[in-house]
Amino acid sequence: MSIAASAVTRRQQAVYDHLLQRHREGQPPPSLDELCEALGVRSRGSMHKHVQALVEVGILEPMAGKQRGVRLKAPEWRDPVQLPLLGVIAAGRPIEAVELPEDIAVPPHLIGNGPCYVLQVSGDSMVEDGILDGDWVIVEQREQARDGEIVVALVDGSEATLKRIVQRPGEVLLVPSNSGMHTMSFPPGRVRIQGVVIGQMRSYR
């Protein structure tokens, strides 16, 4: 997940992304009907459930009283944290990560408990998880992951790739989220986990 691991659905992430984009463009908070139209949701009730879920995790202001529109909580878009942008990671095939001497601003609610860094995604092997070419992923630095988590995996000590991981006795599977691509299989000694994806950002420009 992009807002917080296992906290929201892909649709709720889309709601957050849309609200953040409107805020950055100086647009007023949208109504539920406007959100439905912008995101292609037919059911107003369904959209209300998504909004309420984001209220409950502290992303949005409660829709109460005379307040018009669906509003982000102020801390969600203020005081971003600067994280190192370490390079480009392939979501299609393993490539060597490129070191880039710069930082990138990240909303504080996307930051994990441990050391974090940012990688820009190249390729389309994770599109069915909503991770697109050009997106930025926030990675919490870890050496272990649960099966099914999206990880930065270092193969043969030199090539990094972004995939879901499945660990079996004598085998590590790096699984793409693209039905047109094949799972990669390696002996455990060839794969080292460098981190787990805990957040995601996207520019619509």
At 112-165, the pLDDT tens digits run 778 999 999 998 999 999 899 999 999 999 999 999 999 999 999 888 899 999
> Do 114 and 45 share a structural domain?
no
Q: Is residue 189 part of a domain?
A: yes
Q: Which of 125, 158, 177, 185 is catalytic?
A: 125
| CATH number for the domain harbouring residue 112 | 2.10.109.10
Q: Pick the last residue of a domain from 60, 76, 92.
A: 76
73 catalytic? Reply is no
Integer Cα distance of 83 and 64 in angstroms: 35
Task: Give the model's pLDDT for residue 65.
Answer: 57
Residue 178 in tokens: 């693209």
> Do 129 and 48 share a structural domain?
no
> Do 92 and 57 share a structural domain?
no
- Tens place of pLDDT per residue across the chain (205 aa): 345 444 567 888 889 888 888 877 778 889 999 999 999 999 999 999 999 888 887 788 887 655 578 888 765 445 678 888 888 888 766 655 556 568 888 877 778 778 999 999 998 999 999 899 999 999 999 999 999 999 999 999 888 899 999 999 999 999 999 999 999 999 999 999 999 999 898 877 6
Q: Where are the alpha helices (DSSP H) in the chain?
A: 10-24, 32-39, 44-56
Whether this prediction's pTM lies above 0.75 is answered by no
Q: Please count the structural domains in the chain.
A: 2
Q: Which of 163, 177, 179, 185 is catalytic?
A: 163
Integer Cα distance of 125 and 140 in angstroms: 21
Task: Give the model's pLDDT for residue 173.
Answer: 97
**Range(s) of the domain holding residue 114:** 81-201
> Do 124 and 103 share a structural domain?
yes
Task: Give the model's pLDDT for residue 205.
Answer: 66
Integer Cα distance of 110 and 117 in angstroms: 11
185 catalytic? Reply is no
Task: Give the model's pLDDT for residue 6.
Answer: 41
Integer Cα distance of 104 and 51 in angstroms: 28
> Do 182 and 87 share a structural domain?
yes
> Do 196 and 150 share a structural domain?
yes
> Do 95 and 24 share a structural domain?
no
Type of residue at 27: Q
Integer Cα distance of 64 and 62 in angstroms: 6
